[in-house]
Every structure is written in C-alpha cells, then in structure tokens.
Amino acid sequence: MQKNRFISYLPYLIVIIAILSLFNMNGSGVTETLSYQDLQKTLKNEKITESQLSIGENVTTVHGVYTKDERQVGFTATIPSTTDEISAVIEELDESKLTIVDADASNLFLDTLLTLIPFIFFGVFAVWMINRMNGAGGANSKAFEFSKSRARLEGKIRVRFDDVAGCDEEKQEMQEIIEYLKYPKKFEKMGARIPKGILLVGHPGTGKTLLAKAVAGEANVPFYSISGSDFVEMFVGVGASRVRDMFKKAQQTAPCMIFIDEIDAVGRQRGAGFGGGHDEREQTLNQLLVEMDGMEDNTGVVVIAATNRPDVLDPALLRAGRFDRQITVSLPDRKGREAILKVHARNKHLAQDIDLGALAKRTPGFSGADLENVLNEAAILAVRENSDEIHMKQIDEAIDRVMMGPAKVSRTYDEKTKKLVAYHESGHAIVGLFLENAQVVQKVTIIPRGQAGGYNLMTPKEEKMMNTKNDLMASITSYMGGRVAEEMFFDDVTTGAVNDIERATNLAKDMVTLYGMSDLGPIKYNSGNENVFLGRDYNSPNNVSGEVAYEIDQEVRKIVNGCHDKAMEIIRAHSDELERIAAALIEYETLTAEQIQRVVKGEDISSDFSSKKNTQPEAAAA
C-alpha cells in the first residue's frame, strides 16, 4: 500500500527536482546583459568574483559574476576584439579569477546540446506522463484497447491431474488433448483430427475450470482464460472484434489452449430474446462460430468451454467441427469424494482418528467445491478453538454449516416450542429407521440453523445411478414424518413443515409429469421444475389441457396423501421409540446415528454427555 502511494507521487517529485535543477543551471542569482558603458562602470565599481573572456575574431564576450546585496549577480557583455579594449578589461579584472577562452575553439554542437537538455528532459517527461495516463494506472485505462481481447494469458500453470480428483473418466477423455498438444505429429500421421472445441458441462463446483487448467498444466502450453461475459459490451461489434483478436493471439502462440468460462453468457440461442434478440451478443456468437470454422485442422489451438446450462446454447455451437465433444463433469460418487478430500487434506493438520472414507459416505451430493469448503471451515473452527489439530467435532460442525448455516445457540426455545421441534424431528427419524427404502438417519438435532428450527441428516444406504418409484415414495413419506408427529402428539400443526411439504409436493409432481409414475401412464407433461430460458419458453404453447391438469393435481394429491397415511401408520406402530428419541433430544439437543440406535433399544446414553451437559459439537464449535 505504501509502495503504491510512493509511486503515485513520484512524477510530481521529479518535476520539482527538475525545476530546482534549472534554477541551479542558471546560477544562484540574476543574469544581466550589459552595454559597453555599463560594463566599464561595473568593472570599476563592483568586486568581480569570477570572470571569463571568450575572444572571437570580431567581438569578445565577457562573462562574470559579482556580489550585490549578499546575492550573486551574473553579467555578460560584448566588446570589440582589439588589443586596447581587451587589455583595458583585463586590467580591471582580477587575473587570478580570470579565464580566457578561444571562441573559435568552442564546440558548437556541445553548446547547443547543453542548451536543449532541459527541453529534451521535459519532452520525455510529458510523453511518459501521457503513456501513464493511457496505461493501467490512469483514469482512461485501456482507452485504445477497447476492442482488444480480454483473455488473460497464464504461462506457467501449476495445476496437474494429481490435483483433480473424483473425475477419472473425464480425465481420460482429456488425456487425448494433452497428447495432441505435446505430440501433434502422431495424430497427423494417423489422419486423425483432434476436436477443435470441447464443452465441459456440469453442476457448479464440480471442477470444470480446474480440469481445464490441469490439461494446460500437463501439456505445458500457454493458457488463455476468459469469461463469456467479457465479450459482450454495450457497443455493437466490440465483442466480435475481441473474438477475432483472441484467436489471432492464440494462433501466434500455438500450441495453446483457450478456456471460455460460462460460455452461455455469449452462446445463447439466437433469435430467442424479446424484441428480436440481442444484436451485440448474437454478432459475437456469429464471429465465434466463424473463427472456429476458420481454424485449420490440427493448428495447435484447442478451445475448451464450460457451462452449467447446456440447454440454452445455440445448436450451431454444438455441431461437429466446433464444440463437437461434450464431457459431463458429474457430482462425485463416494469414492470420488474420498479422493477429493485427500487432495484438499494435504495441507491440513488432521487428527489421527479422522476417517476420510467415512466422511465421504456422509456427504452425498457434495461437489468438490463443497468438500473443500467443509475442510476449510473445519480448519477455521480448529483455529477458533486454539486446537493443534482438526478433530471430528470440527468436521461435523463444518458439514452442518455448509448444509444449513451456523448454529444459532443463542436462540432459546420455550419449553413448548422445544418439545414441538423435538417431536417433529423425531418423526422424521422414526420413518427413516423403520421404513424400507428410506434413507439412513445419520444425525438429528434441534439446534436452530438458518431458517430451520432443527434438522435430520439422512444419507442413502447406497448411491444409485437412478431411483425407483419405491425410493421416491419413501422420500415423500420421510418428509411427512414431522408433520404427522405434530398431528399425533399435539393435535395441532405448525409452520415448521413448510419446507418438507414443498419438497414432497415437487417430488410428487415430478413423479406424475416427468417420470410417468402414476395412473396417468408413461407420458411427459409440463413441469414447473425445468430450467426455463425466458426468451425461448415464454411463449411456448402449453401442451396440457385443463382436464389433464386437473388429473395431474389429483394424482399429486393421491401420492402425497398416501405417503402421509403411510407415515401415520409407521409412527403409530413405533410411538414409544419416537417418544424416547424426543426425550433424548430435549435433554441433549443432538444425537448421532449410533446414539439414536441405542435410544431406540432403551439403552442409557447419559455417559456420552457426562463431561458437561449440552456440550455437543455444534455448541462447542459455535
């Protein structure tokens, strides 16, 4: 900060020093030009401290300095170059302080150069200041580079495939690109054409950008990185110019990689906007299509793009010869999550009893970014508690923070509300314990987090590629467990089940309209849960008649009410176990899967909390 401030003041300092130097060059006082008569008076009346005679063929120039009122005054005069005149002047001067110079022997070039030095200096300084104003530090930054490419060139990429985990198949697909960038002749000899463009598709946080960097790092080639939004400007034609400039620079540094992040910002379907579209964005897309067509095969330039909305991309962008290879970067499975945790745990001081495999099993649906965030939050909590290592209690709290937010331990319940929340969460737990195909209960807590008064952490028994109808029905039944517990034990309902009802309703709608899991048969109807591209889908016709819409509502109601009745049946059959879990939650606030199993069996778990009452990991870490 201080260094930057000094640099900003440096030009003003140079100007001040230059001005002072010019004053010193002209002497310490005033310089006078004297006539012949004034010169004679000055020589007689003043004490000359320094003098110089420059004798020429016709005239002689007299230079001198005398003291007047305690200041130095310089003077100059000319006299005829006769013997009498020169002798008269010399007699008036102190010979010890007199210098005689031959004017004919003077260096005209050197004298002229010395005269011009101040002007040269100020000219150079003015040019430097103009360049600075038009450069990175001025207010008109990049004023002359408005249409140039904004792609950032990264020469030394340190990311390698060892730093990317949980996507082995994706790395195998990208291995060919590395081989091509390293050994292009091998592909040319076989007559193979490497894909010009590769589109990485996947949920946010799955590692698309990291994978692209790893390819450039493994191939050791220049890496141009740009976002799709960097192309689009207010002025029509600027984005197209930037695309041309980007490909021109890339071809000059081939072999290299161009990475376009969030390509959907510029590659959206043409003609799908209100009022006829977006001219600037569509011209930019047209230029991108032309440039990718214009690249010759095996030129050494590979374009990799990333998006999580492939459904809105223009079809021309995805055809063969452009982005003709599409790689889906999926959420990692259990094995992949464990590998990702090992990568992010390299610089973490984990306790010896930490089992990353068990942690991966407890975090289904987490992306690589989520897992990195979990370990980072756990490290922050360890520092907060002045711990030398990261223990399991910090990781437990970190998972809860990532999923639901920090624990609000300062919020206090009254006894009735606390009991309501305990029975509500116990209802979810009982359904999860005793319903076939239900998810496994890992943790139950009544400590508020985010907008929730409490929550259940439930994970699938095993991760599947697809869900069956029984799996989905079991999920809806689990959502209904909390509401049913309120109805049975309090003869009343609360607003605490609002999220459960919303999720159950959406899942039931998908079963009817998308998955064909109802009496309406295997037919796809409209669903409100699909990603909508407003410009394309706003005026799309509704393919559901009023009669069919009514039947859909009836089927959704039938599924939800059936699951509600099933939850009621299970809770009635296991009401004693529910009350035991609720009592334990009221007393201890948080129960793990192993503790829940012991409570259901009627065992005493007070020894787990004997050190101090209500010292759960959440409360300690919060």
In angstroms, the CA 381 to CA 244 distance is 49
User: What is the DSSP secondary-structure string of 122-134?
Assistant: HHHHHHHHHHHHH
Indicate the DSSP class of residue 144.
G
3-state secondary structure 50-116: EEEEEECCCEEEEEEEEEECCEEEEEEEEEECCHHHHHHHHHHCCHHHEEEEEHHHCCHHHHHHHHH
In angstroms, the CA 322 to CA 313 distance is 13
Give, in order, the Cα–Cα distances in Å from 591 to each of 131, 221, 435, 596: 67, 52, 20, 6
Buried b (16+ CB within 10 A) or exposed e, 171-194: beebeebbebbeebeebeeeeeeb
What single letter denotes the amino acid at residue 424? H
Neighbouring residues of 307: CB distance < 8 A, sequence distance ≥ 6: 199, 200, 201, 262, 263, 264, 267, 313
Q: How buried is 198 (Cβ within 10 angstroms: 0-12 exposed, 13-18 middle, 19+ buried)?
A: buried
Q: Give the closest residue to 368 by CA, choosing from 345, 347, 391.
A: 345
Q: Give the closest residue to 132 by CA, choosing from 121, 144, 123, 140.
A: 140
Token pair recorded at residue 148:
């140039």
Half-sphere exposure of 500 (CA within 13 A, CB side): 27
- Secondary structure element (H or E) that encloses residue 162, with its range: none
In angstroms, the CA 279 to CA 297 distance is 30
Q: In this structure, what are the phi and psi dihedrals at residue 207, rounded to the nearest 5 degrees?
A: 100, 30
**Residue bearing tokens 């006894």:** 415
Token pair recorded at residue 107:
């260096």
Is-catalytic flag, 425? yes
The answer to whether 239 and 231 have CB atoms below 8 angstroms apart is yes
User: What is the DSSP secondary-structure string of 574-587?
Assistant: THHHHHHHHHHHHH
Local structure of 460: helix, strand or coil: coil
The answer to whether 389 and 351 have CB atoms below 8 angstroms apart is yes
In angstroms, the CA 566 to CA 575 distance is 14
Q: Measured on CA atoms in the order 263, 269, 271, 277, is the torsion positive or negative?
A: negative
**Residue bearing tokens 């799955």:** 206
Local structure of 545: helix, strand or coil: coil
- The dihedral region occupied by 166, where left means phi > 0, alpha psi between -120 and 50, and beta the remainder, is left
In angstroms, the CA 447 to CA 616 distance is 10
> Which candidate in 425, 486, 577, 618 is catalytic?
425
Active-site positions read: 425
